[in-house]
Structure 1
């Protein structure tokens, strides 16, 4: 597989400007007392209008906070977030086609949120991505089915380095013409680090909706193996042209390959297969018919919580379209195939108007929820009991993510 690479280095003392605007659009609006004794801070990306307010808190389980006079204001609303080993948090802005904005946030020595930037800079830029994830010392933003410089079609991977004194991006491309031998040119979804110098990404194949394909790639995008099976459809959640990863690893190193069975043309129900740690193929003894367990519902997003517990975001109706609401949730214990709807403690699916990217922490998952008639709230979900309770309330327009950063 021939791979082309292109390296673009963004020095923190003088990065390339992301948009045509000429000035930095972030403003510190906090007058809070410095905290020299902190060890970590929870981070809340709260929004109002077209701005995001990066707030910090010592806990998420209760209390109140506000964007008024608080946090770091950034004149953008992010669609994706990637946390790099609790050292940095990057927010990205996705749109259909073109070049996208990325901003990296860290904790300063005083415990306040800071944005990595150079003089007059507004962040970094990533070309052509619709899926993101971590791999080794990099965060990867990638997109498939792209026209390459040599006239072929392939996937473009931006390796964003988040260590050292420089913020750098290495762009690599992978030819995908007929990569599975079925004549199609798929796009991709998901980035899962297997911990052995390889990562997994799923192929999205609408023309071949009754099979799943997962690539194992190394850092140079050499294809180490292709996992394939016909018990589920392709592995990807979708909203417009964005892809949501349905690949996820448990604490034991096993990778669960979920499929929300998105395509109406597939004959396969929404379900999951398993790649055992170090295995070169799917576990033929493991198959989970999630659609049957849910009573016929299909799902869009997958989040690992702890051990082999996962939170799945389901469409609200049995029949759905690309932009249909998906605001009901279930806990799945994958090894025993136990399925439980989260009905206690969460607002009803009819009340929920938006949710953000959650944080899994110390055996719980913290899900930011915006409803029609209450302030945005972080809900704490216990996977064992499959119950939720109201946590931190944030006076704002919404919450797009909660995360955690630790003192460096």
Structure 2
């Protein structure tokens, strides 16, 4: 399972998506003076980017008014983050920067936007380094998931009003799996008033940490919130586990149902493919919180051999998907992007992306979706530089936007001053 570990490193390095404007080129740490008209609402895009000049250092956060045109230079701009690896969450109009501290504690820094369009640094707090995080009601939840050694997965609830940890607890991953292996969470999603946490089963023992005897099952743990008491575990044998290491694969639509992707690309200890079910989209009924046995979209069959390796929800049942055609990840692997409509089970290949892409930051939290049924902004890096591309899920097109000079775009978000 070395490819899963590699995916974490790539995602950790590509977790921020940064942009900058000429009227906001300096760090605004401690700038709490909003000034101007207190009733005015200002909106800015927040882009996190890594520097080309200083490799191996933390991302920089910048702000821009427009990401669909123009350019911005990373040099002498933005707010430098502490630590080499950062990942981000925007919820309740706040921007949370989380440090991935490897085996060390991970600091969390909170930013808001003032009505001058500048990021204002708020509270700092320290937790364990976490691998799973997501919004729930007025909170966000963080989860540390062990790969080996201890069986306990600590969780933390952060209130977004106070920006403090208000509750914490532990989950025994061996007891949850209940099959002799460990439950390893890939993400968390709110559906109704419950927290749903997809997980995959892994042995977690020396020499075979990522190995499993259960490659053809999808699991989701359903928790009451905020008590975090386990309500039930639901399963499906139509594909394989949901999401991936550090990649949430479950999304709630506007109707209250859940849609999830499975790559079904589980490898054995010798690099052989051990999952035999097809990659596809599964559905969870929002009323019963059970897998819908009548729904499964076999993506491999629909696309003549491609499997889903990532999704971003665009709203109204439409997703932007990353698709690959070689589950063994050989040099011949072809990566494509498509618009998927899970209601009609139809897809269109995205047109307009550059032919040669060095990196395309693609996960549920490293891109910005306007949730309008079509618009998703992603960072695309080529030999010509790093750009924001606007992907349209309705027309299946990609349009080049702002260029980042001197850095690589890793994530993007949007904030308003109110």
Using the size of structure 2 for normalisation, the TM-score is 0.79
Aligned to 1:334: 342
Give the drift of 1:341: 2.0
Give the drift of 1:41: 1.2
Give the drift of 1:251: 2.0
Distance in 2 (alpha carbons) for counterparts of 1:34 and 1:78:
33
Change (3 A) 1:327 1:402: farther
Q: Is residue 2:50 matched to residue 1:54?
A: no
Distance in 1 (alpha carbons) for counterparts of 2:327 and 2:241:
19
Aligned to 1:73: 80
Change (3 A) 1:226 1:135: same
Q: How many residues align?
A: 362
Aligned to 1:385: 395
Distance in 1 (alpha carbons) for counterparts of 2:346 and 2:173:
37
Distance in 1 (alpha carbons) for counterparts of 2:333 and 2:121:
33
Aligned to 1:11: none
| 1:106-125 alignment, distance < 5 Å | 106-117=112-123, 123-125=124-126
Q: Is residue 2:101 matched to residue 1:101?
A: no
Distance in 1 (alpha carbons) for counterparts of 2:237 and 2:282:
10
Change (3 A) 1:93 1:313: farther
Change (3 A) 1:396 1:114: farther
2:261 to 246, 258, 267: 258
Distance in 2 (alpha carbons) for counterparts of 1:81 and 1:407:
19
Query: What's the CA shift string for 1:208-247, capped at 9, x where partnerless?
Result: 1111110111222211121111111111223xxxx21111
Q: Is residue 2:195 matched to residue 1:199?
A: yes
Distance in 2 (alpha carbons) for counterparts of 1:34 and 1:44:
24
Aligned to 1:366: 377
Give the drift of 1:76: 4.0
Cα contact 2:143–2:153 (8 A) shared by 1:
yes
Cα contact 2:261–2:308 (8 A) shared by 1:
no
More divergent stretch after superposition (355-364 vs 393-402): 355-364
Change (3 A) 1:250 1:261: same
Using the size of structure 1 for normalisation, the TM-score is 0.80
Q: Is residue 2:160 matched to residue 1:159?
A: no
Give the drift of 1:289: 0.7
* 3-state DSSP of counterpart to 2:385: coil
Give the drift of 1:316: 6.5
Unaligned runs of 5+ in 2: 1-25, 202-211, 267-272
Aligned CA-pair RMSD? 2.8
Distance in 2 (alpha carbons) for counterparts of 1:233 and 1:314:
16
Distance in 2 (alpha carbons) for counterparts of 1:295 and 1:95:
41
1:40 to 25, 28, 43: 43
Change (3 A) 1:189 1:51: closer
Q: Identify the structure with the greater strand proportion.
A: 1
* 3-state DSSP of counterpart to 1:251: coil
1:82 to 89, 92, 101: 89
* 3-state DSSP of counterpart to 1:179: helix
Q: Is residue 2:385 matched to residue 1:397?
A: no
Cα contact 2:58–2:86 (8 A) shared by 1:
no
Give the drift of 1:354: 4.1
Distance in 2 (alpha carbons) for counterparts of 1:404 and 1:94:
22
Cα contact 1:80–1:92 (8 A) shared by 2:
yes
Aligned to 1:282: 291
Distance in 2 (alpha carbons) for counterparts of 1:326 and 1:154:
38
Distance in 2 (alpha carbons) for counterparts of 1:63 and 1:217:
46
Unaligned runs of 5+ in 1: 1-26, 118-122
| 1:303-318 alignment, distance < 5 Å | 303-315=312-324, 317-318=326-327
Give the drift of 1:298: 2.6
Cα contact 2:45–2:64 (8 A) shared by 1:
yes
